[in-house]
């Protein structure tokens, strides 16, 4: 009887550990998804703003990257209190940067051209 309880306890304990691992993975995936869409919205706003205001030059791109990384980092490290060491090597820091840059360039060029 004691051995049965001990074995049952081990199975339940293993299931809880497995369930917690899945939950942590889902939370990390949701956070990466949130950071991705946050960066896309920053790119959209900055691209439209730079195009409407008529800004040109490399300083616009440099300012965009500074704002993109700074706003994202401040939000997930200070507001959400997330430690970026819980993720892979620069995974959280680089999530969606290429897509955000492409969206920024597209919005900037189109609004600057047509307005």
Is the Cβ–Cβ distance between 52 and 111 less than 8 Å? Answer: yes
**pLDDT one-digit tens code per residue, 72-93:** 888 888 877 777 777 777 888 8
Average pLDDT score, the chain: 81
Q: What is the DSSP string of 36-102?
A: HHHHHHHHHHHHHHHHHHT--SHHHHHHHHHHHHHHHHHIIIIIS---GGGSSTTTTTSTTHHHHHH
DSSP for residue 11: H
**pLDDT one-digit tens code per residue, 29-56:** 888 888 899 999 999 999 999 999 999 9
Domain ranges within the chain, ordered by starting residue: 32-114
Q: What's residue 15's pLDDT?
A: 47
């Amino acid at each position: 009887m004691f051995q049965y309880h001990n074995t049952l306890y081990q199975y339940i304990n293993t299931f809880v550990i497995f369930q917690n691992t899945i939950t942590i993975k889902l939370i990390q995936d949701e956070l990466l998804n949130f950071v991705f869409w946050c960066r896309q919205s920053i790119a959209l706003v900055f691209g439209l703003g730079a195009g409407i205001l008529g800004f040109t030059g490399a300083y616009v791109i440099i300012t965009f990257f500074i704002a993109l990384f700074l706003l994202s980092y401040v939000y997930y490290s200070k507001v959400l209190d997330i430690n970026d060491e819980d993720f892979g090597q620069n995974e959280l820091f680089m999530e969606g940067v290429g897509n955000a840059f492409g969206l920024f360039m597209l919005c900037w060029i189109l609004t600057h051209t047509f307005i």
